[in-house]
Amino acid sequence: MPKRKRKYLNNSSTFSKKKFDAQDWVSQSEAARIRGVSPQAIGQLIQKGRFRTLEIGGKVLLNRREVETYKPQRTGRPRK
């Protein structure tokens, strides 16, 4: 029985050694509740590099302010 490969985030950001406030970071499911979308949609935005992430102990955390102020980019060809 083959083992499944784990998906790792390639676009994790490295941050300088400054204090991190726990209230500034939210989980992927909490970010989905804030935006009103599914956790899978947030995962796709993370893979596209729309959010900076912080991974601690296998948990992916997102900056709360970035999640709240995110504006989706329009896709496709611009209208004339």
- What are the tens digits of pLDDT across the range 3-56? 555 555 555 555 555 566 778 899 999 999 999 999 999 999 999 888 988 888
Tokens matching residue 51: 């959010």
Sign of CA dihedral 10, 13, 14, 20: negative
Please classify residue 59 by burial: count the beta carbons closer than 10 Å to its beta carbon, then call 0-12 exposed, 13-18 middle and 19+ buried. exposed
Write down the pLDDT at residue 15.
Answer: 58
Count CB neighbours of 39 within 10 A. 14
pTM: 0.66
Give the Cα separation of 13 and 76 in Å (integer). 28
What are residue 59's DSSP bridge partners?
56
So what's the pLDDT on residue 78?
A: 82
